[in-house]
């Protein structure tokens, strides 16, 4: 099982070494490149003013943040959520720089610093896949047809959810499953209930491409395998995901 955490942050400014602080963290859990629905989201009191430039981007004011917990009060919950999952971040040096700066302020109680080499940087992936093109999050959403109408301002959780969709596209639009190998899901990540509407697992929806006759033949084939169908232990009694 591959567990990944897509992470995004918002900050008081752009200079972590100069004293700017985290004000929002959003995380989305992926298992085998599929969104599980588990998320982490916290606003943080930075104990300093938000710059005008940063406020114009995310709209989080000093007044709004004044009653939020400080980073020391949320770090344990963040660490518990991330666990040993691999981090996926767009322009990772920026977010990792801020996280490591916050860790350093905690002294002996701090988690280990995040190693950039262990982080999947989707900006690097995008530059390799689309050299010479714009590869910010908005440009990638436009390229892959990902809806951003819900995004009027930057927000850590929403941006993490959108980045999770972009990440799958950068991987080629494929996701691993416990079925018969790789399943192409360029339009969505979803399963369909028997005789019902598509049930969204990720964000967008698809229907099964099997006709009722093809599905019936598939089920008959699985039934004929009997005990040889060793993947039934993973997929359930019906033998289908």
**Which alpha helices (DSSP H) does 11-155 contain, by range?**
52-58, 62-65, 75-82, 92-105, 122-129, 137-144
In the residue annotation, 154 being an active-site residue is answered as yes
Alpha-carbon distance of 103 to 134, in angstroms, equals 32
Q: Measured at the alpha carbon of residue 105, what is the angle toward residues 104 and 106, in degrees to the nearest 5?
A: 90
Q: Which helix (H) or strand (E) holds 4?
A: strand 3-11
Annotated active-site residue in 33, 41, 154, 218:
154
Alpha-carbon distance of 13 to 22, in angstroms, equals 9
- Retrieve residue 226's tokens: 């009997």
Residues with catalytic roles: 154
């Amino acid at each position: 099982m591959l567990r990944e955490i897509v992470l995004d942050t918002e900050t008081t400014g752009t200079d972590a070494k100069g004293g700017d602080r985290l004000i929002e963290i959003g995380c989305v859990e992926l298992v085998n490149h599929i969104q599980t629905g588990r998320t982490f989201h916290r606003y943080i009191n930075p104990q300093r003013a938000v710059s005008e430039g940063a406020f114009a981007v995310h709209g989080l004011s000093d007044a709004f943040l004044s009653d939020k917990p400080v980073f020391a009060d949320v770090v344990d919950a963040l660490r518990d959520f991330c666990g040993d999952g691999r981090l996926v971040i767009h322009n990772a040096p920026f977010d990792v720089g801020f996280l490591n700066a916050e860790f350093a302020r905690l002294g002996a109680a701090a988690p280990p610093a995040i190693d950039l080499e262990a982080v999947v940087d989707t900006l690097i992936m995008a530059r390799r896949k689309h050299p010479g093109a714009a590869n910010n999050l908005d440009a990638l959403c436009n390229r892959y047809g990902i809806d951003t109408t819900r995004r009027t301002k930057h927000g850590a959780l929403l941006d993490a959810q959108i980045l999770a969709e972009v990440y799958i596209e950068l991987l080629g639009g494929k996701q691993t499953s416990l079925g018969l190998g790789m399943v192409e899901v360029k339009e969505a990540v979803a399963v369909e209930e028997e005789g019902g509407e598509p049930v969204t697992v990720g964000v967008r929806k698809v229907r099964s491409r099997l006709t009722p006759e093809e599905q019936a033949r598939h089920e008959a084939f699985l039934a004929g395998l009997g005990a040889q169908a060793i993947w039934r232990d993973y997929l359930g009694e019906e033998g289908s995901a």
